[in-house]
């Protein structure tokens, strides 16, 4: 297993729509393990493959608290089948938008169809934080970021900040 570098805003890779996973095989499971290690190292509670530069419909989630044993969930080709009418608001953050948090309103529950790590078709009815996390990560697979759910003014400020940070980190070019 290895920790993969995270793709950070404003990298256009984050806006790509991910492709379905064709098969659950050894290379895919290595990617799953690398994603889990990367997520735990960050630390985060969810990670989509696109966030490590792999445009595949794959995500990992672990909502266990620090003092609890790890409880990783793997979602291959996840698809939201149904959303609740009830709404909930959570303060969301994103490993690809470090140190920025905002309240986002989403459906309070979702029913999601997916393939598990063993290649079996599964379905989950998720509520609360798991519902929010799944929606956040599935958004990534569609090129959508959580800041797309906040006001345009706030979103523009965040994007501007991260573009400036990216310019500052870019190697300077000497002319001459």
Q: With CA atoms as reference, report the closest residue to 149 among 82, 87, 85, 92.
A: 92
Q: Catalytic residues, which ones?
A: 137
Measured distance CA(30)–CA(36) in Å, rounded? 10
Measured distance CA(53)–CA(140) in Å, rounded? 12
The CA-based angle 31-67-123, given to 5 degrees, is: 50
Residues in contact with 70: Cβ distance below 8 Å, sequence separation at least 6, in sequence order:
40, 62, 64
- Residues in the chain, how many? 176
Q: With CA atoms as reference, report the closest residue to 115 among 23, 1, 19, 46.
A: 23
Residue 55: phi, psi to the nearest 5? Answer: -80, 60
């Amino acid at each position: 297993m290895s920790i993969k570098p995270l793709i950070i805003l404003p990298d256009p890779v984050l806006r790509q729509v991910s492709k379905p996973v064709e098969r659950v095989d050894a290379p895919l499971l290595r990617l799953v393990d690398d994603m889990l290690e990367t997520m735990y190292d960050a630390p985060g509670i969810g990670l989509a493959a696109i966030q490590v530069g792999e445009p595949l419909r794959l995500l990992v989630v672990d909502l266990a608290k620090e003092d609890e044993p790890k409880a990783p969930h793997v979602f291959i080709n996840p698809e939201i089948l149904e959303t609740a009418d009830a709404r909930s608001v959570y303060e969301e953050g994103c490993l690809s938008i470090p140190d920025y948090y905002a309240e986002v309103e989403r459906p309070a529950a979702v029913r999601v169809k997916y393939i598990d790590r063993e290649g079996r078709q599964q379905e989950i009815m998720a509520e609360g934080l798991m519902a929010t996390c799944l929606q956040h990560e599935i958004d990534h697979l569609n090129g959508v970021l959580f800041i797309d759910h906040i006001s345009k003014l706030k979103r523009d400020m965040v994007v501007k900040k991260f573009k400036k940070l990216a310019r500052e980190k870019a190697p300077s070019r000497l002319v001459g």
